[in-house]
Structure 1
Amino acid sequence: MHVFVYGTLTDPDRAGTVLDEFEYRGPAELTGLRRIDGCYPTLVPGGRTSGRLLWTPECATLDRYEGVESGLYVRVSVPYTGGADAPSTVSVYVGDPERLDASEAWPSTDPFPETVRRYCSMSDVSVHRV
């Protein structure tokens, strides 16, 4: 699985405590979502975010680390433009700003996972190789 990382997992030492097998595939930029900080970094609509492209076969491990089952983060798939040998999509984890004590929130009263998925599918959200 290819994942755009923009927070704690950009640090190889931290990634190594979470994942047994991973490889960074270079710098990348996410458009359509911008980083904000709370207890942990997350994303809200608009802007750009710098990060790294990470590859790992450990999808379930990342989901547990990000708290997907409890709804802390939601994993979404977005288009990736990185060249002929690159994947067509990458995963991005988006945390619930309310639960992360961040200063901003997503503009919707719908459940957080649905809001994020709808926004990413209907807006120009994508990851590009830098």
Structure 2
Amino acid sequence: MDVFVYGTLTEPDRVAEVLDSFVFVGSATLTGFRLVEGRYPTLAPGGETAGRLLRTDSVDALDAYERVDDGLYRRVAVPLDAPDGHPPEAAVYVGDPDPLDADATWPSAGSGSGFAEQVDRHLTKEGVRVRLTPEDPV
């Protein structure tokens, strides 16, 4: 699976602490989300975020690292703009700003809507995408 990473998971040493097997595919840009700092980095609606595309089969280990089962982060699928041979989507981890103490405002999806619904609504309305950044020719 290809995963768009930003923050701590862009550092090879950190990734090696979490995953036994991985490869960085290349630089990538996430459109439709901007980086916000908190206890841990997360994303908020709007803008762009630079990061890397990581390939691994160890999604369970990433989910545990991002504390998906605890609701700290949520893994979502986003269309991937990349050359042939790449999957059509990349996973992206979006953190809940409240427990992360992050300054992120999400538009409400309606009365009583939670974080998951707000993320889903943003994904469908805003054309969020990951773009593999071509390497500069030498």
Q: TM-score range by the shorter chain?
A: over 0.9
What does residue 124 of structure 2 align with?
Answer: 121
Whose Rg is larger?
2
In the TM superposition, structure 1's runs of 4+ consecutive aligned residues that sit over 2 Å from their partners are none
Q: CA deviation at 1:121?
A: 2.1
What does residue 15 of structure 2 align with?
Answer: 15
What is the identity percentage for the equivalent residue pairs of Structure 1 and Structure 2? 52
- TM-score when scaled to structure 1? 0.96
What does residue 85 of structure 1 align with?
Answer: 85
What does residue 74 of structure 1 align with?
Answer: 74
Local SS of the residue matching 2:97: coil
Q: CA deviation at 1:105?
A: 2.6
- TM-score when scaled to structure 2? 0.91
Alignment check: 8 A CA contact 1:2 1:54 kept: yes
Separation (CA, whole Å) in 2 of partners of 1:104 and 1:81: 26
Local SS of the residue matching 2:99: coil
Q: Mind listing any 5+ residue stretches in structure 2 that lack a counterpart?
A: 134-138
Local SS of the residue matching 1:76: strand
Local SS of the residue matching 1:67: coil
What does residue 38 of structure 1 align with?
Answer: 38
What does residue 51 of structure 2 align with?
Answer: 51
Q: Mind listing any 5+ residue stretches in structure 1 that lack a counterpart?
A: none
Q: CA deviation at 1:120?
A: 0.8
- The CA RMSD over aligned residues, in Å, is 1.0
The one-letter amino acid paired with 1:115 is: Q
The one-letter amino acid paired with 1:110 is: S
For these two proteins, the number of residue pairs brought into alignment is 130
The one-letter amino acid paired with 2:128 is: V
Separation (CA, whole Å) in 2 of partners of 1:39 and 1:84: 37
Q: CA deviation at 1:116?
A: 0.7
